[in-house]
Structure formats: C-alpha cells, structure tokens
Amino acid sequence: MERRHFIQTLAAAAGGGMAAAPGAAATASAIDTSGGAARAQLAALAQKMSEPVLTNMAAGTLKKNFALEVSPTWDGRDKGVAYLECFGRLIAGIAPWLALADDGTPEGRTRKRLQQLALQSYTNSVDPATADYLLWKGPGQTLVDSAYFTNALIRAPKALWEPLDARTKQRIVAEIKALRRIEPPYINWMLFAAMNEAWLMSIGEEFDPLRMNVAIRKINEWYVGDGWIKDGDAFHFDYYNAFVMHPMLVEILDVLDEKKGAFWNGKPEELRAQAIKRMQRYSEHLERFISTDGSFPPIGRSLTYRTAAFQPLALLALRKQLPQSLPEGQIRAALQAVHKAVWSAPSNFNKEGYLTIGFVGHQPELGDWYSNNGSMYIASASLLPLGLSPTDSYWTAPAQDWTQKKAFAGARFPKDYPVNY
C-alpha cells in the first residue's frame, strides 16, 4: 500500500502549489516513466524535503521546531551539530535546482520562493543575534557539514552567494576560515577541509593550498583501481565513494583548474580529467547495483543516507558527463525506480515533515553513533539532476531499461570489465 502512494504523496508535497505529476492517481505498477513525470516527482520530493527546513530557518525557528532524533548509539556530542547538518546537507543537494531561472511555471515559482528562503537561512546561520545561528564553534563534526554548506555556494554562486549582503558574506568567510582550527583525520574528512579552501579560492579569498593539495594527494594514493577509493588506509565496502570521495574530489579540482591553482609536480586539468573518469567508472558499478524494482544493496556505514548513495550518477547527469555506457534515459529511469523504492514509505518523514532516521521508512536502529535526523538530509544529493532545465535531453530522452532490468528479462546487455585510469 505504501508504494501505491508514491506519486500522490510527492505531488502533494508541503502544499506548495506544484502541479501533480501526470498519472498521479496511478498505482505503483503503472507509474508514468516519461521525463515530465520523473521531473515532477523529483521536484515534489525536493519541495517536500526542503519546505519545513527552509521555512523555519528563514524565520529563525528551526532550532525551536525541528525535533531532534538521535541514534540509539549516539556518542554524546553536542546535539546542536544537527542543525548545521540539516541545512548544509539539504542546500548542497538542491542548490542547482534553486539556481534555475523563474520560468513562470508552478515549479519555477516554488523554486524562487525556496531560493529566497535559502538566502535568509544563510543570513541567519551566521548571525549571532538570531536563534538559528549555527554551531560554528562546535566539535569536529562542524568541519564536515561546513563543507556541504560551502559546496552549495560552489554549485550555485549566482543564486546563493552573490545576492547575500556584504555583512553576511563577511561572516560566512570568517566562520569558514575559523574552522582551520579543526585538523581533519586522514580519512574522507580531508576533503571537507579541502572543499572549504576551494570555495574560498573560488571567491577570491585567501585560502590554504596545503589543505587542498594534501587531500588531493591522499585520495589519489588511496585509489585502488576500477573506480574505487579507500577511505584511509583500509578499504570499506560502503557508499562513501558516493557520499564524499568522488563528488568532492572532482568539484575541488574544478576550482583548482578554473582558477589555475598551483599543484606541485602536477597539472590540475589532468588530475581533474582523471578524477572524472574514475567517477564515471564507479558510476557504472552504481548503476549495476540497481535492481529491477529500484532496490539496491543495503551495505556499509551511513546506510540511512538513503538515495545519497547515487550522488555520482546524479552529479554526472547534472554536469552532462555521464559515460557513453550510461545513456541519459536509462539513468533517469533507474534513478526514478530508486526514488520510488526508497521514498514510497511515508515514515521517511515525521508528522512535522522532517526526515527520520532510517533506510526505507523510520528505522532508528540503523543509525550509527554519529547519526541524527539532520544527517539524513544528505539524501538531497540524489536530486541534483533537477538543476537541468525541463527541456534538457536528460528529461526528454526516451526512458530505457537499466542493466539489471535487461539482464533479468533475458535481454541483451553489455558485459562488465575492469578499467583503470
């Protein structure tokens, strides 16, 4: 019964006035797979995820109204980190969508309203006089989520950075620079420090090249081949290559290449090209993980990040860099199936409309010792294709079956061989 209400639930997201997707009354077995329907469903999910967070934070009431949920194994750190996690992770995923022009459509009007709320949220986040001033002086976790906060500004500078007033800009820069007090461990955290420095570099501010260059070197040292990267000295079979490693490395190298940054004994443009190829190869594996019904392996740490596991596919689609082996219509259909499989469960959201801890629905026992319901907003990373115009070929290309769907239907599909770059 939950699956049957997938489109209806999303189309009614938060009462924001977006038109329902074509086929909104259909059952789960008869979902419209056209690009228009897929986009309407994804936009409705973005609105449903964003509305309570941005409406409250813009009003200075997020801390008041966002009832925290922490993992049963919570480690006791300051729970105030949850608000930065919630806003930073959400805004990183929806930033390209908010950057699209207001086109007069219901979706366009929704985007414009949410973009204005996001700008006020950024202002409140660094204003010590507001109730929603974030925990910038907090524990090491602050460094992690500051990187999503700045990643959004890299992804949508004209929509989210340039319109801010001068005082807010100064405050953001000061808070980000002050986080240099946190020394990242030699794991994926190095990329969080590097992302902040890349953002500072992108806006012409003083930056620390060492925090970028060491991170880039370590990630490349940890590359084990065929698209996979270790997280530190040990290999972990989980989705951190998707949550952090590939997307952040590529976007940091984008800035380093664009700004002609120095990299000792290496060329940023070559490192960037290599990183993109590796992310493309990893994405071929991700696509083959998607079952015929949109389910995927529930493996590894941070499983409750849900559809963030497919951030590389979403980001490559946004960047128009999907490999030739993964046609746009195939990826759109595959990701639509993933979103249906995960987001059909109403208990993914609580009665106030905020995300809960879980994988498919509310499953707090799956939380890790660092998990709170603010952490869950990294799931917005799977919404990145919304940053493409509704007329883009990603949305207009005919839907195609993905690999497992072909394989288990007895249809022809390509074999898979290792590739090393």
> Could you tell me which of 60, 220, 63, 185 has the C-alpha nearest to residue 127?
60
DSSP for 221-250, please give it. HTEEETTEE-SSSS---SSHIIIIIHHHHH
Any idea what DSSP says for residue 309?
G
Q: Which residue is associated with the tokens 């990373």?
A: 381
In whole angstroms, what is the distance from residue 16 CA to residue 40 CA?
A: 13
* Confidence band for 32, pLDDT divided at 50, 70 and 90: confident
* Confidence band for 31, pLDDT divided at 50, 70 and 90: low
Question: What's CA 227's distance to the chain center, in Å?
Answer: 20
Any idea what DSSP says for residue 269?
H
Q: Hey, what are 366's tokens?
A: 């799956």
Q: What pLDDT, on the 0 to 100 scale, is given for residue 261?
A: 84
In whole angstroms, what is the distance from residue 386 CA to residue 405 CA?
A: 24
419: in domain: no
- On whether the CB atoms of residues 310 and 264 are closer than 8 A, the answer is no
257-282 burial, b for 16+ CB within 10 Å, e for fewer?
beeebebeeeebeebbebbbbbbbbb
> Could you tell me which of 55, 50, 196, 199 has the C-alpha nearest to residue 121?
55
> Could you tell me which of 302, 299, 273 has the C-alpha nearest to residue 372?
302
In whole angstroms, what is the distance from residue 151 CA to residue 284 CA?
A: 24
CATH number of the structural domain spanning residue 188? 1.50.10
In whole angstroms, what is the distance from residue 18 CA to residue 15 CA?
A: 8
User: 3-state SS string over 340-355?
Assistant: HHHHCCHHHECCCCCE
Q: What pLDDT, on the 0 to 100 scale, is given for residue 34?
A: 85
314: in domain: yes
Continuous segment of H or E residues that includes residue 357? none
Mean pLDDT of 212-221: 97
413: in domain: no
- pLDDT, tens digit (0-9, with 9 covering 90-100), for 142-188: 999 999 999 999 999 999 999 999 999 999 999 999 999 999 999 99
Beta-carbon contacts of 252 under 8 Å, excluding residues fewer than 6 positions away, are 191, 194, 195, 198, 212, 215, 216
Above 50 in pLDDT, residue 16? no
316: in domain: yes
118: in domain: yes
In whole angstroms, what is the distance from residue 370 CA to residue 179 CA?
A: 20
* Confidence band for 41, pLDDT divided at 50, 70 and 90: very high
Mean pLDDT of 385-398: 98
Q: Hey, what are 373's tokens?
A: 């319901």
In whole angstroms, what is the distance from residue 249 CA to residue 162 CA?
A: 24
418: in domain: no
In whole angstroms, what is the distance from residue 160 CA to residue 64 CA?
A: 24
Q: How far apart are the first and last CA of the chain?
A: 46
Mean pLDDT of 20-37: 53
229 beta partners? 223
Question: 361: exposed, middle or buried (C-beta count within 10 Å: 0-12, 13-18, 19+)?
Answer: middle
Q: Which residue is associated with the tokens 């940053």?
A: 387
| Number of domains comprising the chain | 1
Please name the residue ranges forming H helices in 327-402.
328-343, 393-396
Q: Hey, what are 224's tokens?
A: 């084990």
Q: What pLDDT, on the 0 to 100 scale, is given for residue 8?
A: 53
- On whether the CB atoms of residues 374 and 83 are closer than 8 A, the answer is yes
Domain that holds residue 299: 3-407
Above 70 in pLDDT, residue 28? no
105: in domain: yes
Find the range with the poorest average confidence among 18-27, 92-101, 187-196, 282-291.
18-27
> Could you tell me which of 373, 351, 370 has the C-alpha nearest to residue 86?
373
Average pLDDT, the chain: 93
* Confidence band for 10, pLDDT divided at 50, 70 and 90: low
Q: What pLDDT, on the 0 to 100 scale, is given for residue 3?
A: 47
386: in domain: yes
